[in-house]
């Protein structure tokens, strides 16, 4: 049996703005049912690429193939109609509208094409919120009254209210606590099990190993690596691709220093009127230091070294 073509294939995508070439011949392919992680430092071109995919930007050159056919994404509505939804880090919700109104904005349930059925919209929204693990969110509540994490769930419900086959998630865990991140990963797992592809953007490399299938790395508007296995590619290799330097150069090891020795910093009689009394401080090699609450009645006027080593090296 011949292999299935990628759900999405972007080839040779370029995009320039006045004074900057944001994308310089980027290739990206995404398979149905996979989590494809898009990595890169700030300014690498990730945001521009996903805006091209969302129909918000038009590429200068290059081709986009969707389900094996060339397509032109002239607008976000055109992308959504094809089945491509984008959830931006800065959520594009309307705060003075209800949850249900936001979820169905632009494709409201109607009768005979004219009368909006608010009850049907609320019922449909409630089902989507339950699927996303948040049945407690009231479909009739104003979005502006929700927390940032709840607003993200509403944005995801809006994407799922369409017949989406690919969802782009831009830093989706940034505003979430650990329990909410676990729920996010459950949602992503459910989506991919249904054959929906997810393009996942995150600066948290530990998340990539937990949730990703393959990785594409952007640097300076170019795809410097594509299709890397997310679970087995070494972190130092990913960092080197993102930065163009070895991890030892990005996070150089400090030379080992025995505790003690001559002070590298000495402070005597440091004070600020109305805030803290005169204090003395000495920092010696190989020691870490804490700063006590000087407003306390028994606050010390000088510091002594802790036993914790000061040297730190990054995890491999």
Domain limits for position 164: 8-250
Check whether residue 122 and residue 58 sit in a common domain. Answer: yes
Which of 1, 83, 65 lies closest to 28, judged by CA?
A: 65
pLDDT tens profile 156-197: 899 888 889 999 999 988 878 888 888 889 999 999 999 999
| Highest-scoring range by mean pLDDT, 94-108, 230-244, 253-267 | 230-244
Q: Is the backbone of residue 231 left (phi > 0), alpha (psi -120 to 50) or beta?
A: alpha
Of 199, 227, 250, the residue at which a domain comes to its end is: 250
Domain end call among 208, 229, 250: 250
- Does position 18 have pLDDT exceeding 90, yes or no? yes
Residues 121, 224: one domain? yes
In a domain? residue 209: yes
- Residue 147 and residue 285 in one domain: no
The per-residue pLDDT for range 253-279, each reduced to its tens digit, is 555 556 667 888 898 988 888 777 888
Q: Residue with structure tokens 């936001």?
A: 102
Q: Using CA atoms, how far apart are residues 295 and 208, in angstroms rounded to an integer?
A: 44
Counting the structural domains of the chain, the total is 2
pTM of the entire structure?
0.73
Specify if 139 maps to a domain: yes
**What is d(CA 30, CA 148) in angstroms, rounded to the nearest whole number?**
29
Place 108 in a pLDDT band, splitting at 50, 70 and 90: low
- Is there a single domain that holds both residue 53 and residue 78? yes
Average pLDDT, whole number, for the chain?
84
Q: What pLDDT score does 175 carry?
A: 76
- The pLDDT > 70 percentage for the chain reads 81
Q: Give whole-number Cα distances, 55 to 50, 78, 81, in Å.
A: 9, 7, 11
C-alpha distances (whole Å) from 271 to each of 7, 147, 178, 289 are: 65, 41, 40, 18
For residue 217, the SS3 value is strand
| Residue 161 domain flag | yes
Question: Could you tell me how many residues make up the chain?
Answer: 316
Instruction: Give yes or no: residues 206 and 65 share one domain.
Output: yes
| Domain presence at residue 188 | yes
Same domain membership, residue 15 and residue 155: yes
Structure token pair of residue 13 = 């995508």
Looking at the chain, the whole-number percentage of residues with pLDDT higher than 90 is 52
Q: Are 257 and 280 in contact (CB under 8 A)?
A: no
Whether the Cβ atoms of residue 207 and residue 29 lie closer than 8 Å to each other: no
pLDDT confidence of residue 302: 44
230 and 266: one domain? Answer: no
129 lies in the same domain as 57? yes
Q: Which residue bears the tokens 């995919």?
A: 53
Q: Is residue 76 part of a domain?
A: yes
Q: Tell me if 139 sits within 8 A of 99, measured CB to CB.
A: yes
- Reduced 3-state DSSP string for 44-112: CCHHHHHHHHCCCCCCCEEEEEECCEEECCCCHHHHHHHCEEEECCCCCCCCCCEHHHHHCCCCCCEEC
Residue 40 to residue 92: CA distance in whole angstroms? 23
Q: Are the CB atoms for 236 and 247 separated by under 8 Å? A: yes
Q: Stretch 128-142: mean pLDDT, rounded?
A: 91
- Host H or E run for residue 3: none
Tokens of 26: 């980027």
What DSSP element (H or E) covers 69? strand 69-71
Q: Which residues on neighbouring strands pair with residue 26, listed in sequence order? A: 13
Answer yes or no: do 295 and 246 share one domain. no
Contact 238, 315 (CB under 8 A): no
What is the phi/psi pair of residue 243, to 5°?
-105, -20
Phi/psi for 51 (5° steps) reads: -70, -30
Are residues 188 and 239 both part of a single domain? yes
Together in a domain, 226 and 302: no
- DSSP-derived 3-state class of residue 92: coil
Under 8 Å CB-to-CB from 292, ≥6 apart: which residues? Answer: 299, 300, 303
Query: In terms of domains, do 278 and 217 share one?
Result: no
């Amino acid at each position: 049996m011949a292999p299935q073509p990628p759900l999405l294939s972007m080839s040779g995508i370029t995009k320039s703005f006045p004074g900057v070439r944001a994308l310089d011949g980027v290739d990206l392919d995404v398979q149905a049912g996979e989590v494809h992680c898009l990595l890169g430092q700030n300014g690498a071109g990730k945001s521009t690429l996903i805006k091209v995919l969302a129909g918000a930007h038009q590429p200068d050159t290059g081709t986009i193939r969707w389900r094996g056919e060339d397509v032109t994404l002239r607008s976000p509505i055109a992308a959504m109609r094809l089945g491509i939804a984008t959830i931006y880090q800065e959520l594009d919700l309307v705060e003075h509208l209800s949850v249900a109104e936001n979820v169905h904005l632009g494709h409201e349930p109607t009768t005979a094409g004219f009368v909006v059925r608010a009850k049907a919209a609320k019922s449909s929204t409630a089902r989507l919120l339950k699927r996303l693990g948040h049945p407690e969110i009231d479909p009739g509540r104003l979005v502006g009254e929700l927390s940032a994490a709840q607003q993200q769930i509403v944005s995801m419900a809006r994407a799922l209210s369409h017949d989406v086959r690919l969802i782009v998630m831009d830093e989706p865990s940034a505003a979430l606590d650990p329990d909410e991140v676990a729920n996010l990963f459950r949602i992503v797992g459910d989506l991919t099990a249904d054959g929906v592809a997810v393009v996942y953007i995150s600066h948290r490399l530990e998340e990539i190993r937990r949730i990703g299938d393959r990785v594409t790395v952007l640097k300076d508007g170019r795809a410097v690596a594509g299709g890397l296995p997310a679970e087995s590619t070494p972190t130092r290799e990913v960092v080197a691709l993102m930065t163009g330097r070895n991890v030892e150069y990005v996070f150089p090891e400090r030379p080992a220093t025995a505790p003690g020795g001559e002070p590298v910093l000495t402070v005597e009689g440091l004070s600020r009127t109305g805030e803290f009394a005169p204090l003395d401080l000495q920092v010696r090699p190989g020691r870490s230091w804490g700063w006590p609450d000087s407003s306390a009645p028994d606050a010390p006027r000088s510091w002594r070294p802790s036993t914790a080593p000061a040297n730190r090296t990054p995890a491999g």
